[in-house]
Structure 1
Amino acid sequence: MDRRQVAVPVADLLDAPEGERARQVVMGQDVEVLGDGDGWCQVRVLAGGYVGYVWSSMLEEPEEVTHRVTARSTHIYPEADFKVRETVALSHGSRFTVLREVGRFFEAPQGFVPKVHAAPLDPPERDPVAVAARFLGTPYLWGGNSGFGIDCSGLVQAACLACGIDCPGDSGMQAEALGRAIGPGEALARNDLLFWKGHVAWVVDEATLLHANVFHMAVAFEGLHEAIARIEAQGDGSVILRKRLEILE
């Protein structure tokens, strides 16, 4: 396998060279190069299996990463000092190698990352909704997968991957791959998923959803029954599937 890692904070994964954004990848994610030429690489993202095109210059030889960004976003600093000017912003899910700990920072090859915004790759988190809630207020972005912009399926994928659940990138794929169908007589519970045609939302509790949506143009909480009624009234149909994930204990 020709394995590479994403070397930039966020890279658009396009449907063709110079094409439209299909999804995004963030720093430290592993990809398999399927082909390259004219400055482009066709890649398959190892986490989720999505295939698309990125600039070859956005990839680098892989290293063994040790930690991940757990906050919605963070900064890398050139020194272990919060008062110096940051060098770059990183999204949730970005991965990096810790060289050593320096006070309140992890030192990585790229610079210094606040400890409070990161954690080791293992163990995974246990509450997808809690992870998704860190994105509250993040602007809606079609095909987005980062703390700078995200869509409904990106929010589901980010939360699942943080919890060690393999997850495809699009809502249609997620409806097929994730969890088990909830029967008509079963009550909804936290971390369940509701699927519409082209949309997906997290169940927070029996009365509340959390989703990235165009109505709010952001990640937002919304009343479950109000959201179902609103989505149907705007012509996008009713809920077509309810799924329950198997959460790692």
Structure 2
Amino acid sequence: MRAAVTAAAANIWTLPSSPRSHDAPMLENPPKIRKWLAAMGYEERVRLCTDNLVQTQVLFGEEVIILKEEGEWAFVAVPGQPSKKDARGYPGWMKKSQLSASGFQTSSPAVWITKPTAFLYHTNGEPDLEVSFLTRLPASGREKGFFRVMTPLGERLINEADADEFRHTEGRAADVIETAMMFLGLPYLWGGLSGFGFDCSGLMYSVFKANGYTLPRDARDQAKAGRDAEVNDIRPADLLFFAYEEGKGAIHHVGLALGDGRMLHSPKTGKAIEVLRLKGTVYEKELCTVRRCISEKGE
């Protein structure tokens, strides 16, 4: 059975038992994302990874496949997030209260959010839900500077300054970089796939998706996407992959090449999305793979 996400950004948990007491704000509908983030210290954030609590996130209006149900929980696959874990889409558990089984689907024409986050408004102009970058919703028209859209919660308005019409076009390298630069300074979030916080591969997945390219969700899968490129021929918007054991072990990180030896990436818990020069860093030693995912006409 297919269903639509009714939360601005819902966590996909490893198990129904994964959420801790201080994760309660993310189990509500709508989730209190900013409250959850503000209340988590470094240790609480790091354990999202070290204790394998969160797998990924799904956005408002995104479609999931419900594979099974257990009480208040649903085990789902996310078709829009390719993964070797499941051919049907990225798998994990989420609260059933954050889903609508009405069969709501995005359709054309559609608009999507182009800012890190933006508010949806009720048709009377009152603010409703703060949603994320890349949230995509069917559009039914415009009025007085707003897009009129259909959502799993009913008709809403989006400010035209916060969104754009959805187009199936592949962007250029410069477009991908411009999109990524918009998130400089945003704190890292393990499993994050929204304008409220990204992990390393979530950022790459999202900025490429915004420019017409579908990448796998995780870095190790992304390292097989696109075309192989040489380490001595890195071009802007190439994906740079880093492995343990000075590049000989398992891939654990991905960043976006900017040119001139620089990289944009979401580093790790406790840090924020940044630009750095590879030379003289641990990343210079760990660089193991370069992939070119931009179409040849977009280079």
Query: TM-score per shorter chain, which class?
Result: 0.7 to 0.9
Aligned twin of 2:242: 196
1:137 equivalent to 2:185? Answer: yes
Structure 1 residue runs of 5 or longer lacking an equivalent are: none
1:77 pairs with 2:117: no
Q: Tell me the CA shift for residue 128 of structure 1.
A: 2.1
**Equivalent-residue separation in structure 1 for 2:170 and 2:226 (angstroms):** 17
Distance in 2, matches of 1:144 and 1:184, equals: 28
**TM-score (structure 1 length as normaliser):** 0.87
Letter paired with 1:64: T
Report the Cα distance in structure 1 between the residues aligned to 2:106 and 2:283, rounded to whole angstroms: 44
- From 78, 82, 86, the counterpart of 1:45: 78
The partner residue of 1:222 within 268, 276, 280 is 276
The TM-score with structure 2 as length reference comes to: 0.73
1:18 and 1:120, CA in 2 relative to 1: closer, same or farther beyond 3 A?
farther
Residue 64 of structure 1 corresponds to which residue in structure 2?
Answer: 106
Q: 1:89 to 1:184 in 2, by over 3 A?
A: closer
Q: Tell me by how many angstroms 1:79 deviates.
A: 4.6
- Given that residues 77 and 111 in structure 1 are in contact (C-alpha distance below 8 angstroms), is that contact kept between their aligned partners in structure 2? yes
SS of the residue corresponding to residue 11 of structure 1 reads strand
Contact 1:128 1:160 in 2 (8 A): yes
Unpaired runs of 5+ residues, structure 2, are 19-52, 82-88, 244-251
> Which residue matches 2:292?
244
Deviation >6 Å, runs of 4+: none
- Same amino acid, percent of matched pairs: 27
Q: CA deviation at 1:52?
A: 0.8
What SS class does the counterpart of residue 208 from structure 2 fall into? helix
CA–CA distance in 1 between the matches of 2:269 and 2:7? 30
Q: Is the contact between residue 80 and residue 112 of structure 1 (CA under 8 Å) also seen in structure 2?
A: no
2:73 maps to a residue whose letter is W
- 191-200 or 113-122: which moved more? 113-122
Conserved 8 A contact 1:50-1:168:
no
Asked if 1:114 corresponds to 2:159, the answer is yes
Structure 2 residue aligned with 1:181, among 207, 228, 232? 228
- Superposed CA offset, 1:119-148 (max 9, x none): 222234513222222222211101101111
Whether the 8 Å contact between 1:141 and 1:150 is mirrored in structure 2 is yes
Are positions 1:205 and 2:259 aligned together?
A: yes
Distance 1:36 1:216, change over 3 A: closer
Q: Which amino acid aligns with 1:88?
A: L
In 1, the alpha carbon distance for the partners of 2:115 and 2:124 equals 18
Tell me if structure 2 keeps the 8 A contact 1:196–1:239: yes
CA contact (8 A) 1:40 1:56 kept: yes
Matched position secondary structure for 2:139: coil
Q: 1 CA distance for matches of 2:8 and 2:254?
A: 26
Equivalent-residue separation in structure 2 for 1:98 and 1:208 (angstroms): 39
Question: Alpha-carbon deviations, 1:12-71, whole Å to 9, x = none?
Answer: 001111321111111121212211221211111111221111111211222334221111
Over aligned residue pairs, what C-alpha RMSD do you find? 2.1
Matches of 1:191 and 1:134 in 2, distance apart? 15
2:134 is aligned to: 93
Aligned residues: 237
